[in-house]
Amino acid sequence: MHTLPPLLSGFVPIWALSAAGYAVGRSGLLGPQAESVLGGFVFNVAMPAALFTMVAGTPLGTFANMSMIAFAAGTALACLLGFAVSRWIFGRGLPDQAIGGMAAGYVNSANLGIPVAVQILGDASFVAPVLLFQVLLVTPVILTALDAGTAGTAGAGAGGRWGERGAVRMLLLPLRTPVILGTALGCAVSATGWRLPVALGHSVELLGNAGVPTALITLGMSLHGRRPATGIAIRAEVGATVLIKTLVQPLAAFAVGSLVLHLPAHQLFAVVILSALPSAQNVFIYARQYELSTALARDAVMFSTLLSMGTLSAAAWALGPGHT
């Protein structure tokens, strides 16, 4: 029996579920509002449950290590470059700048990071601190920028109707944004060592498990009737974003890890591999939920996923056991 190469097998679920979503969108099986409804379900229900489960079950101290400094440096540089490109080259507003920064530096650590880590690194333990870093530090920054730029009027939270301003809006952001609220509750549970009753915990976990496949289905549905962006500006922006994500971010992590921190070979290998993961589908979900154009997010996710197979393979060849 022929089996798929280990690296390729990690990408198959992404392509298969996105293709299924495209077929659903093309057939009209779920009706004209399905993409909006499913996107809202992921952002407001399934994703918060998944983040709560992940954070609650992970000791918060796991991401306090030298390897994470290198990963964080690469992420910060990539996000800032994506933000700068969107702002100063393409003249986007704050919400689109946030999406550009996220598309350039927020890795697909959940449904792709784990299988890639298992197949290439032989150990998925480093994925947990990456997940925590993105959830606890990067996500609140992105959502704060999105909320400030849209004045809270999008589907993620209608706080603008009550007229909050400035610091008050920021203080209330976790209560109006289920993703942050789920993460905050997970932190509280992790810090106290308390655990949900087994039956309730299992129910939350089942709900969270629906997040990734539904997000991929929604992403696939968004491709129906929409070709890759054809305008010169948006194509250039997608190209710049994907270049930052697939090349600049892992190279920056490598430079910091090797030249500044002098990480051991296996830690440096793990940092570069996880930094080279493609953009997460969360970028598309956030853009969709805040009623922004999804062209950049959609195309950045799709093209970075395709190109990352090459960059991941190159990193594995250059830094993997036997080549260091």
170, two tokens: 């920021």
Integer-rounded Cα radius of gyration of the chain: 19
- pTM score: 0.78
Say how many C-beta atoms besides its own lie within 10 A of residue 255's C-beta.
15
**Right CATH for 6-319 from 3.40.50.150, 1.20.1530.20, 3.60.21.10, 2.40.50.320:** 1.20.1530.20
Pairwise CA distance, residues 50 & 205, whole Å: 7
Q: What residues contact residue 162 under an 8 Å CB cut-off, 6+ apart?
A: none
Neighbour-count burial for 261-272, b at 16+ CB within 10 Å, e otherwise? bebeebbbbbbb
Residue type, 70: A
Strands (E) across the chain are located at: none
Pairwise CA distance, residues 181 & 249, whole Å: 29
Helix (H, G, I), strand (E, B) or coil at 275: helix
Pairwise CA distance, residues 10 & 1, whole Å: 19
pLDDT tens digit at each of 324 positions of the chain: 455 555 666 677 878 888 899 899 889 898 888 888 988 898 888 888 888 887 888 787 766 788 999 999 999 999 999 999 999 999 999 999 999 999 999 998 866 776 677 667 776 667 778 888 888 889 889 988 888 887 654 444 444 443 445 556 655 666 667 877 888 888 889 888 888 899 999 999 999 888 888 888 887 887 776 666 567 888 899 999 999 999 999 999 999 999 999 999 989 999 999 999 999 988 988 998 888 988 999 999 989 988 888 888 888 888 877 655
Q: What residues contact residue 225 under an 8 Å CB cut-off, 6+ apart?
A: 25
Q: What residues contact residue 157 under an 8 Å CB cut-off, 6+ apart?
A: 147, 173, 176, 177
